[in-house]
A and B are shown apart, each in its own frame.
Chain A
Amino acid sequence: MNYLIEVKNLKRYYKVGTETVHALRGVSFSIAAGEFVTIMGSSGSGKTTLLNLLGCLDTATEGDYYLEGISVKEMNKDQRAMLRNRKIGFVFQSYNLLPKTTAIENVELPLVYNPSFSSHERKAKAVEMLENVGLGDRLHHTSAQLSGGQQQRVAIARALINEPAIILTDEATGNLDTRTSYEILSLFQQLHQEQGRTIIFITHNPELASFSSRNIVLKDGKIVHDSLNTNIASAQEMLLQLPKQDD
């Protein structure tokens, strides 16, 4: 079977002063296209290190990582930048939108670094993506004019615009209230179920595990749990169960 992601005995050490910190102590797993994987772990479990490696922001000390069959280990900085540009969509906890910049301009940003897109094509695609995440009426609003949930939707649209192989999210609901969290989760589920997107959700929050199709739990740099979730909860239903808000 061809896996989208293959991780083999991945290790990452950092030198801090004279000590060596073992952030990842040999992690192996494979992810197929169309999976919605939650990688959980408490602080210090190595999940951020794993995110950096999966996102091609960092390279492993030992072990191999294949993204669509391509070994990332051999790549230099510029090649990895190119790979991120074409294959990976990031969604961060703090949205990381550019200030004083409209939703469209934020969303089109990845394509600015892809010379095969003209300025016109970028705009059209950005509008399409914003409509895709339900922000068709907020195209020209700047970051400051959008709520937290809307900003995260813009960030998701930005992650989708390059048609990435995987969407990597880092505590994507961490800054949001319960209702908005469910809304965002519902959006991810929709992207996964309706559009077959491969999503890797990295979080410390065990509650989120029930919404994904597979759960991986990290502890002290090792995988302690890896199971498929057959009973996927629907974020949309959770949303409906929440007490009605007056506003």
Chain B
Amino acid sequence: MSVNFGNLFKIALRALSNNKFRGFLTMLGIIIGVASVITMLAIGQGSKRSIQDQISQMGSNMLSIDPGMGMMGGVRQDPSSMQTLKFADYQSIVAQCHFISAATPVVNASGQVIYGAKNAPTSVTGVNPDFLNIRKYSIADGEMFSLQNSKQLDKVCVIGHTVDSTLFSAGENPIGKIIRFKNTPFRVIGVLTEKGYSMGQDQDNIILAPYSTVQKRILAINYLNSIMVSATYESVADSAKQEIVSILRANHHLSDSQDNDFSVRSQKDLITMLSSTSDLMTILLAAIAGISLLVGGIGIMNIMYVSVTERTREIGLRMSIGARGMDILLQFLFEAILLSVTGGVIGVIVGIGASLMVQSLFAWPIFIQWYTVFLSFAVCTATGIFFGWYPARKAANLDPIEAIRYE
């Protein structure tokens, strides 16, 4: 059996160019289908990317170690009231863990901060200087406190942008001013660069102070609320996590049968959790767009049936001069594929254009994954074959005797 694809292509091209407008209308279904699949996926992927970006702004290598659920005298305790994390744990992690680049103990105290006649609700976070690195904060003005300040339990602090603008009037330099938190005076030595909101939280409503000052002078506790560390690379975050688990288990003298009395969460865990919603959204959008591709395919099938009926005499003639059933089948199949693939190419272009338009007009994050482009292209070809098959087979099964005299 020999098939000349060059001939098939020429025949199909001629047949389509004889009915340009009809061909265009038929392709329109595919164009809209493919364009909407690509645009919807671009929007879906874009929003997923933007969530991931927000998380990595918080520090994509970050691991946070929190006290876990534990028992105290037979009563299961809320994790926040657990006192299992100690400064010694932090020291062990810093000393023994190979995959971390930064670490800080964290203690939290919330309450009103007062400066002169003004006050605001906020929280004081006791950390050491590594915190800036881990959470990707930077100092806009002044300086960060040092480990030396920590050792000396100095009452110094660095304030976030929101705290700065609430407590101090415009133009007033907060550096060197004394603010009061729970009757403890803190000298402001630095202001953080504005970071904005992330997942509904104002990241600038924050006061940073040496962890020891907050732990001893304000809270008067001997445990930590959490420990934050930064893995050297995102790729070793899991190794770091495992290492930390084994260090802490050893520190806490946990036997094999006992559960962890702490939890270690990486940003990756958070990303996975948050992406699952946006993945679902993407699937829904793509499914709706896929339906329009299906409708486009039915349009092709419809027009191919019309075409076969219209050209019954042509089919009869071709058969009488020696075309086999297979030749006729391929001729019409090729025509259907040419329709759908041309529609697909235009659809890809329109889809990318529409995605870029959405991005520039509505400032929505978009992200075009190239595999979705190739996928929709492949789906198009498959649509052409699937919906072109039945009309083409109908043509191939015509009886030449009847077809040639068809009126």
Interface positions of A (Cβ within 8 A of B) = 52, 55, 57-58, 77-78, 81-82, 84-86, 90, 92, 96, 98-101, 109-110, 112-115, 119, 158, 162
Most buried by B among A90, A98, A162: A98
| Chain B 296-330: CB-based contact to A (< 8 A → 1; otherwise 0) | 00000000000000000110111111111111000
Q: Does B148 contact A (CB under 8 A)?
A: no
Q: How far is the CA of A55 from the CA of B317 in the complex (A)?
A: 12
Asked whether A96 lies within 8 Å of B18 as measured between CB atoms, the reply is no
Chain B contact-residue range equals 20 to 34
Q: How far is the CA of A82 from the CA of B327 in the complex (A)?
A: 12
| Chain B 76-95: CB-based contact to A (< 8 A → 1; otherwise 0) | 00000000000000000000
Contact of B320 among A82, A84, A98 (CB under 8 A): A84
Asked whether A86 lies within 8 Å of B322 as measured between CB atoms, the reply is yes
Contact of A58 among B11, B324, B401 (CB under 8 A): B401
25 A/B residue pairs, CB under 8 Å, sorted by A: A55-B320, A57-B320, A57-B400, A77-B324, A77-B325, A81-B322, A82-B322, A82-B324, A84-B321, A85-B321, A85-B322, A85-B323, A90-B320, A92-B317, A92-B404, A96-B316, A96-B404, A99-B18, A109-B317, A113-B318, A113-B323, A113-B327, A114-B322, A162-B321, A162-B322
Q: How far is the CA of A86 from the CA of B321 in the complex (A)?
A: 9
Asked whether A100 lies within 8 Å of B321 as measured between CB atoms, the reply is no
Distance in angstroms from A152 CB to nearest chain B CB is 14
Contacts of B14 in A (CB 8 A): 100-101
Asked whether B321 lies within 8 Å of A109 as measured between CB atoms, the reply is yes
Grouping DSSP codes into helix (H, G, I), strand (E, B) and loop, the B interface class, with mixed when no group exceeds half, is helix
Contacts of A98 in B (CB 8 A): 314, 317
Contacts of B401 in A (CB 8 A): 52, 57-58
For the complex of A and B, 7 pairs with smallest distance between CB atoms: A85-B322, A115-B2, A110-B321, A113-B322, A96-B317, A81-B324, A78-B324
Interface positions of B (Cβ within 8 A of A) = 2, 4, 6-7, 11, 14, 18, 313-314, 316-327, 400-401, 404
Q: How far is the CA of A224 from the CA of B6 in the complex (A)?
A: 50
Contacts of B4 in A (CB 8 A): 112, 115
Known: A57-B320, A162-B321. 17 other contacts (CB 8 A): A77-B324, A81-B324, A81-B325, A84-B320, A85-B322, A85-B323, A96-B313, A98-B317, A99-B18, A101-B14, A109-B317, A110-B321, A112-B7, A113-B321, A113-B322, A115-B4, A162-B322
Contacts of A57 in B (CB 8 A): 320, 400-401
Q: How far is the CA of A110 from the CA of B320 in the complex (A)?
A: 9
Distance in angstroms from B123 CB to nearest chain A CB is 79
Q: How far is the CA of A148 from the CA of B313 in the complex (A)?
A: 18
Q: How far is the CA of A152 from the CA of B6 in the complex (A)?
A: 29
Distance in angstroms from A67 CB to nearest chain B CB is 14
Distance in angstroms from B122 CB to nearest chain A CB is 79
